[in-house]
């Protein structure tokens, strides 16, 4: 007879699978509708003559772009994860990550990288970039348009530790639910960024967790990524 822990684990796996399947179906069905809306709006925009009319058409495009971002998150949440580990210099990984952000967002990210600039990160680079992107976006949205977010990378025995810091504090009842899929306190968010980041980390044998939540020190989300005993390097250029 299965133990309570085993039954709970299986129930959670079933629930996660159902949510992932629902997300996949919604993303597929809604993407076709959004494409149609964008196409018809584009045709309509060619017939508009006044600035006010064109402004309204632009608002439609902005709204569909927001929906596209939500659909992209749904697809990330629903896709099976099968990491294909490779190696990437830490310097290159961070540069590629910042390019994924909007220019004004990237300017608000302060780097504190405490490893050799040519440290070779071992991971599925595309998945790792996406996980870190989710953590940075979450922190940037929490700080507001003028807030600064810090990305800190530290070497630990047989692992890398990525920390994303931002100002602020979460009430305990919120902090307890931040990894629950579709839980969010922001109307414009879907609430799956942090669960996606954790899934990616766990697929690598690591994890993502809330490492700090203090009104004075701020909020820190930590991603732990297992590495080789002797990580490969190519020189010792500092990123600090």
Query: Which pLDDT tens digits describe the chain residue by residue (240 residues)?
Result: 555 445 445 545 555 566 666 666 666 667 777 788 878 788 887 787 788 888 888 888 777 776 777 777 777 666 778 899 999 999 999 999 999 998 999 999 999 988 866 789 999 999 999 999 999 999 998 888 888 999 999 998 899 999 999 998 899 999 999 998 888 777 666 788 899 999 999 999 999 999 999 988 899 999 999 997 554 444 433 343
Beta bridge partners of 143: none
- Report how far Cα 42 is from the mean position of its chain's Cα atoms: 31
d(CA 144, CA 149): 10
pLDDT of residue 6: 52
| Residues near 213 by beta carbon (within 8 Å), at least 6 away in sequence | 169, 170, 175, 219, 220
- HSE toward the beta carbon, residue 233, CA cutoff 13 A: 13
CA–CA dist 167, 123 (Å, integer): 29
CA angle 226, 228, 234 (to 5 degrees): 115
Tokens of 62: 């902005």
Helices (H), ranges, 90-192? 90-100, 103-106, 125-143, 172-175
């Amino acid at each position: 007879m299965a133990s309570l822990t085993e039954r709970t684990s299986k129930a959670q796996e079933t629930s996660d699978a159902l949510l992932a399947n629902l997300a996949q179906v919604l993303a597929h069905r809604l993407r076709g509708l959004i494409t149609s809306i964008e196409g018809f709006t584009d045709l309509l925009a060619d017939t508009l003559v006044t600035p006010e009319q064109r402004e309204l058409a632009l608002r439609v495009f902005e709204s569909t772009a927001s929906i596209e971002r939500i659909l992209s998150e749904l697809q990330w949440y629903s896709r099976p994860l099968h990491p294909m580990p490779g190696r990437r210099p830490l310097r290159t990984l961070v540069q590629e990550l910042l390019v994924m952000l909007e220019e004004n967002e990237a300017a608000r990210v302060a780097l504190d990288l405490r490893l050799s600039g040519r440290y070779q990160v071992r991971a599925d680079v595309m998945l790792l970039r996406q996980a870190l992107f989710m953590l940075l976006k979450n922190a940037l949205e929490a700080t507001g348009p003028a807030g600064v977010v810090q990305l800190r990378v530290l070497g630990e025995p047989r692992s890398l530790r990525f920390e994303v810091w931002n100002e602020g504090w979460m009430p305990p009842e919120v902090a307890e639910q931040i990894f629950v899929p579709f839980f969010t306190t922001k109307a414009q968010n879907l609430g799956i960024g942090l669960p996606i980041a954790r899934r990616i980390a766990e697929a690598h044998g690591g994890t993502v967790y809330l490492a700090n939540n203090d009104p004075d020190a701020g909020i820190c989300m930590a991603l732990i990524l297992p590495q080789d005993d002797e990580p490969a390097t190519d020189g010792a250029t500092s990123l600090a």
